[in-house]
Amino acid sequence: MFQHYRFWAMLRFLTTDDLTPDHKTVLVRSDLNVPLQDGEITDDFRIRAALPTLETLAARGARVVVMSHLGRPKKKSKKLSLQPVADRMAGLATVPVTFVASLVGRAAKDAIKEMDPATILVLENTRFETGETSNDPDLAAKLGRLADAFVLDAFGTAHRAHASTVGVGEHLPSFAGPLLQKELEAIGKLVAGAPRPFVVVLGGAKVSDKIGVLTSLLPKVDAMLIGGGMCFTLMMAAGIKVGSSLVEVDMVPQMRELLASADGAKIVLPEDIVVATEFAEDAEPEVVGAGDIPDGAMGLDIGPVTAARYAAIVNEAGSVFWNGPMGVFEWEPFRAGTAAVAKAVADADAFTVVGGGDSVAALRLLGLEDEVSFVSTGGGAGLELLEGKRLPGLTMLERSASEIRSNGGEDD
């Protein structure tokens, strides 16, 4: 039985330890939303993270049926088929892995019937079905008829009330997967008694994407280091000249109030910026003071003085949460700030959690993913947990566990 941390003190649900999968068909919602370029997988981190749960269930005798979304397709598209994901998984797994280009159709049902125990079958992209994101009851019921039990192991989608994450739980006894539990334990540690000093590093393009975690975490942290495109909205709110940098003008008044609040002094803004006159990989970089960005230039990375300062603060931390790059790290001329923060987080003698696709990608690009305490597969879900929100997927698991107990059994 998994007991949540204090901000979900009453939330209790069953895990795969409570599931007896022998000779059963177990439907698993994994997060296999990997980045693709020209049909090729560029980073298989999420596949590798999901695989241990699937292999463990298979080793215990289950027929493991896996579903996931990939991208945001408006209709069926070969470019976003899960076939390449299944092929990569087959090359990594220690048990047989097959694929069927169907989710709830006849082909999927037949493929499941033909499965041997201790094997894995990957279904087609859940978002090829129009009822997925609307949590259509009919689609949820069809998913429920595919298996004997459901395991939610996709932390990155647990904050979405979709048919494959929540709706299916209305029709099958449902359990939390090991990867989901690890995610909750890591985020829970930060929320329920993070070792001090507690430092949060936030980057990314838009402050509006992080406003919830900004306002909810600021009173709880010792320092909040800001980089990426979002820093320019805060800099403008602080009266600092930002040139033609990305700014969400409508967010400036709210950020001005935040900076002026009792906890506003905890927000640390860049002292220098790497700028360019155009948004291009081959643009000529120039380092300027934070208040000296020319009118025709835009900030694309934090400067070396800021990077060193942020690294020093991280080095003194007891716990660190990092979400969002410090600049356009995909381009080598504007990668130094993100690299400095990544190295500082990796070297810190602290409990360190890195979440969000771009932050994880930066860690992996720099070969540092094994040097932090925990690498989260979920960006938005992790931010919502840190804000103190209850995720629909977790509420579903709690409800299912209550129903199972009231019926006097586990997965009978």
Residues with catalytic roles:
46, 206, 357, 380
The token pair at 188 is 């829970």
**CA dist., res. 199 & res. 311, Å (int):** 11
> How deeply is 249 buried, as exposed, middle or buried, from its count of CB atoms within 10 A (0-12, 13-18, 19+)?
exposed
Distance in angstroms between the alpha carbons of the first and the last residue of the chain: 16
| CA pair distance 371, 10, nearest whole angstrom | 33
Helices (H), 164-298: 178-191, 211-217, 231-237, 252-260
Of 403, 406, 410, 386, the closest CA to residue 5 belongs to 386
How far CA 9 is from CA of 3, 13, 175, 317, in Å, comes to 8, 12, 18, 27
Distance between CA atoms of 283 and 14, rounded to whole angstroms?
53
Q: CA-based diameter of the chain, in Å?
A: 70
